[in-house]
Amino acid sequence: GRAFSSWWQACRMVAIGIDVVRADGGLVHVRPIRGGDREALLALNARVSDESIYHRFFTLSRHTADAYVDRLLRPVSSEHLALVALAGAELVGVAAFERLSATTAEIALLVDDNDQREGIGTILIEHLASAAGHIGIRHFVADVLAGNDAVLRMVRDLGFIVVSELD
C-alpha cells in the first residue's frame, strides 16, 4: 500500500548509499545489503572476535554466524531490511530488522571489532529506524546480553527504553 511505497522511496534514496561521518572523522558508506555481499559478510564473521560473535549470536559458533548470512541476504521487503556499512571497500558492519508485528521489529547488529566505538552501530540503527518508521514500525526489540555495555549504552543514547529480564 501507500506506507510500503513511502518506505520504498526512502530505501531507494539509500539504495545508492549515503556517506556518513564516523566518530573518528572518517567516512562510512551505508546502503542496503546486496546479494553480492555474501563473501564480505562471511569475511566480517571471520574477522570479529569470539566475544563479538558471542554478544551477537549468544554462542561461540562461527557456523551459526555464517548460516545467518542467508537470512540477511533475503530480498528487501516490509518484513525485512538489512543495511551494511563500508569503510572504503571493506564491509565493517551490518544491521537488520525482522518485523514481528504491525508496529514492532526485532533488530540485530554486528560491527567489526576494529571499527567499534566509532558510531557505526548507531548510524546503522538510526537508518534502520528511519526506514522502519515509513512502514509503521514504532518499536524495536533486541536481545542483548547484560555484559554488552557498549550496545546497551548505544540503545539508551538513541532514546530506546531498556527493559531487563533474567533468563
- Nearest-angstrom CA–CA distance, 90 and 41: 10
Q: Which grid coordinates belong to 97?
A: 530488522
Query: Which segment, 42-56, 92-106, 126-140, 152-166, is predicted with the most confidence on average?
Result: 92-106
pLDDT of residue 5: 56
Q: Which grid coordinates belong to 148?
A: 554488552
pLDDT at 11 > cutoff 60: no
pLDDT of residue 21: 80
Which one, of 78, 82, 77, lies nearest residue 35 by Cα?
Answer: 82
